[in-house]
A and B are shown apart, each in its own frame.
Chain A
C-alpha cells in the first residue's frame, strides 16, 4: 500500500504565476488535509476535505488559494498569482473514512519557491 504521494516535490514559480500542488491519499483514505510550513515556522492547518466536499477551510487565506478533492483523482491545492510570501513547504495528510480515531498519514511535501 503506497503512502501519501505529493507532486511535484519541488516547484519554482515566478510572481504572478499559478501553482498547482497535487496530493494522492493512501488507498482507501477519503479524508485529506493540507498544511503549510513557512520557513523557520511551525506547521499550520489550511483545509480539510472529504471526497467532493470542503469540510473546514478556516485556515486558508481568503484570496488566491483554493482546494478541491474530486470524486476521481488527487486533491489539488491551487494558488493563483503567487507572491514571495507563498514560498513554503506544503504538506498533505490523509486518513481513513472512519476517522476520527485514526492517525493522519503525511505526504513528503511540496517545496514551493516563488522568485
Chain B
C-alpha cells in the first residue's frame, strides 16, 4: 500500500460541475501539498495545508488531521482546469511523498 493514496485516478466532468479529489495518507506529516501538473508537464503548487481549509479562487483544499485525509474541490469547473492533480505528504526533513495523481478532464 502506498503511503499516499489518491482517488479517483481518472475523472471526467462537464464544464460547470463541482469536482472533488480525495487524498489519504498513512504517514505522520508536517504539511499536505496539492500540486497541479499541466499537460505540458509543468508543476504548480496550489496549496500547502497543515490544518483546516484554504481557498484560492475556485479551488478549496481541506484537511482532517485525525482521519489523515485531505480533499481538493473545484467549483464551477472549466476545461482549462484539465490537468493532473497531485497530493503530496511532507514528512520530516521537508521530504515530499507523492500520490499517483488524478487525471482530470473537463469537457465543454
Distance, CA A43 to CA B95, complexed state (A): 12
B95–A56 contact, CB under 8 A?
Answer: yes
- Bits for B31-49, please: 1 = Cβ < 8 Å to A, else 0: 1010100000111110010
A45–B86 contact, CB under 8 A?
Answer: no
Distance, CA A106 to CA B35, complexed state (A): 10
Distance, CA A106 to CA B30, complexed state (A): 19
Distance, CA A102 to CA B50, complexed state (A): 11
- B71 at the binding interface (Cβ < 8 Å): no
- Bits for A67-111, please: 1 = Cβ < 8 Å to B, else 0: 000000000000000000000010100010001101111101101
**A104-B41 in contact given A42-B86, A42-B101, A43-B86 (Cβ < 8 Å):** no
Nearest to A9 among chain B residues (CB) is: B41
- A58 at the binding interface (Cβ < 8 Å): yes
A48–B31 contact, CB under 8 A?
Answer: no
A100–B45 contact, CB under 8 A?
Answer: no
Distance, CA A88 to CA B71, complexed state (A): 29
Residues of B at under 8 Å CB distance from A?
30-31, 33, 35, 41-45, 48, 86, 88, 90, 93-101
